[in-house]
Amino acid sequence: MLAARSVLRTQAQLASAARVNTVARALSTSSVAYDAKQRADSMQRVTVFGAGLMGAGIAQVSAQAGLKVTLTDVTDKALENGINIIKKSVARVAKKQQPDDIEGFTNKVLQNISTSTDAGAAVADTDLVVEAILENLKVKQDLFAFLDTKAKKDTIFASNTSSLSIGEIALKCSEERQTQFAGLHFFNPVPAMKLVEVVRTPKTSQEVFDTLLELSVRLGKVPVKCKDMPGFIVNRLLVPYLLEAVRMVERGDATPEDIDIAMKLGAGYPMGPFELLDFIGLDTTQFIAQGWITKAEEGLVPLDLIKPTDLMAKLVEQGKLGRKSGAGFYDYSSGKPNKG
Ligand SMILES: NC(=O)c1ccc[n+]([C@@H]2O[C@H](COP(=O)([O-])OP(=O)(O)OC[C@H]3O[C@@H](n4cnc5c(N)ncnc54)[C@H](O)[C@@H]3O)[C@@H](O)[C@H]2O)c1
């Protein structure tokens, strides 16, 4: 009986200790989250590199969230292109969010955006750099290595790369900066797509990672956490799926039309794989898959999943890149997809 009571007492003590631990853990998590939220909320300036499709979108959602944005590119023409993309897109958002004062809404957002072709000056006083330039490892590495010498010590660096390793992009920066380096992977079109993959390398500090998660929420997005692996979450699953759909056609298993219908009606996908391939661009998908071959050799992704397909290579060679070129798996020359 005594022994039983003592066991009960020990169990009660253990339960009480566990409760204290749980509360301590909750407090420590909430204090980390609170600091990160405070840091994200107090950010004032963001510098976006690349005024193309993605950079323009990232600049727009940042400006809409009240951040002062410097949009940076290599030529004035590219910046003009970016500003035009933003103007059209903000007008669409204004129509929905502030239909009574479209001009007021648009002006307020545009007032938060300035442009620059001077990369060093553009980061001198910024809290965050988001890079959305062309998908080339060396070009990205060189840009970040230069920015590392120009930005404040605590400026966070982020890349929007779709297919490169964040850790490799950061490699030419100082060790200290590499702890403040992460991936912020937005989706196209940025103003409409809710998801952001926040990617951490083994060197990314917890505070920087948490701050970027909180910042994504401030930008009106839903963040997901991910390690620095080929394709992160979405492309890691999507690219092998798209390639296997092409292989099905190559093997004569089914037609693109039937596969698209099957995946829409059978799996509830909003687009079939061939409609999606034409939307993304066959060249883009092929480029991502080819880039992963070296990752497969390193054992980071199974080679069979991402082996290039002859059919897609042939279409890319013929200039059939999808919607943007007027034809891909389907023909768009009449304005509507011809699925003949
Ligand atoms: N397009 C997509 O659907 C998509 C989706 C998610 C992520 N991404 C990634 O976003 C990045 C940009 O893609 P995009 O589709 O916007 O490309 P894009 O070709 O539309 O724009 C790239 C811009 O970067 C500029 N640029 C090139 N080198 C530069 C430099 N050194 N400094 C400043 N600007 C420079 C170019 O002039 C161009 O304006 C890529 O890394 C891509 O993988 C693209």
E-assigned strands of the chain?
Answer: 45-49, 68-72, 113-116, 128-131, 156-159, 181-186, 195-200, 222-227
Report the residue among 53, 83, 238, 292 best suited for mutation to probe ligand 1: largest number of ligand atoms under 8 A from its CB: 53
User: Which of 62, 160, 185, 275 is an active site residue?
Assistant: 185
Mean pLDDT score of the chain, rounded to an integer?
A: 91
162 labelled catalytic: yes
235 labelled catalytic: yes
Q: Is 50 annotated as a binding residue?
A: yes
Report the distance separating Cα 161 and Cα 185, nearest Å: 7
- Nearest CA, atom 10, ligand 1: 132
Site of tokens 């009660």: 12
107 labelled catalytic: no
Architecture of domain 238-325: Orthogonal Bundle (1.10)
Q: By the 8 A CB rule, do 185 and 209 touch?
A: no
Atom of ligand 1 nearest to the CA of 54: 16
More confident residue, 21 or 265: 265
More confident residue, 6 or 329: 329
Report the distance separating Cα 55 and Cα 58, nearest Å: 5
Q: Is 312 annotated as a binding residue?
A: no
Helix (H, G, I), strand (E, B) or coil at 236: helix
**Domain segments of the chain as ranges:** 30-227, 238-325
Distances (CA, A) of 145 to 30, 181, 302: 34, 12, 32
Report the distance separating Cα 109 and Cα 129, nearest Å: 19
User: Where residue 162 falls among pLDDT bands split at 50, 70, 90?
Assistant: very high
Please give the distance, rounded to the nearest whole angstrom, from the Cα atom of residue 284 to the centre of ligand 1.
12
Q: Any residues with CB less than 8 A from the CB of 183 and at least 6 apart, and which?
A: 158, 159, 160, 161, 166, 197, 198, 199, 200, 226, 228, 232
pTM of the predicted structure, to 2 decimals? 0.88
Give pLDDT tens digits for 241-250: 999 999 999 9
Atom of ligand 1 nearest to the CA of 133: 24
Please give the distance, rounded to the nearest whole angstrom, from the Cα atom of residue 12 to the centre of ligand 1.
59
Strand partners, 224: 197
User: Where residue 6 falls among pLDDT bands split at 50, 70, 90?
Assistant: very low
30-227 CATH: 3.40.50.720
Report the distance separating Cα 330 and Cα 64, nearest Å: 37
Cis bond before residue 240 (omega within 30° of 0): no
- Nearest CA, atom 20, ligand 1: 52
Indicate the DSSP class of residue 77.
H
Cis bond before residue 230 (omega within 30° of 0): no
**What token pair was written down for 267?**
């799996």
Task: Report which residue type is found at 236.
Answer: R
Give pLDDT tens digits for 27-48: 444 455 568 999 999 999 999 9
**What secondary structure, in 3-state letters, does 145-157 show?**
HHHHHHCCCCCEE
Judged against a pLDDT cut of 60, whether residue 3 lies above it is answered with no
* Fold match flag (30-227 vs 238-325): no
Give pLDDT tens digits for 129-156: 999 999 999 999 999 999 999 999 999 9
The pLDDT score that the predictor gives to residue 337 is 83
pLDDT (mean) for 274-293? 93
Burial of 173 (0-12, 13-18, 19+ CB in 10 A): buried
Give pLDDT tens digits for 93-124: 999 999 999 999 999 999 999 999 999 999 99
Distances (CA, A) of 46 to 92, 128, 251: 23, 5, 49
**What token pair was written down for 221?**
């997005």
- Nearest CA, atom 19, ligand 1: 52
Ranges 21-35, 185-199, 218-232: which has the least confidence: 21-35
pLDDT (mean) for 215-226? 98
Judged against a pLDDT cut of 50, whether residue 240 lies above it is answered with yes
Strand partners, 227: 200
Report the distance separating Cα 294 and Cα 270, nearest Å: 32
Report the distance separating Cα 168 and Cα 158, nearest Å: 13
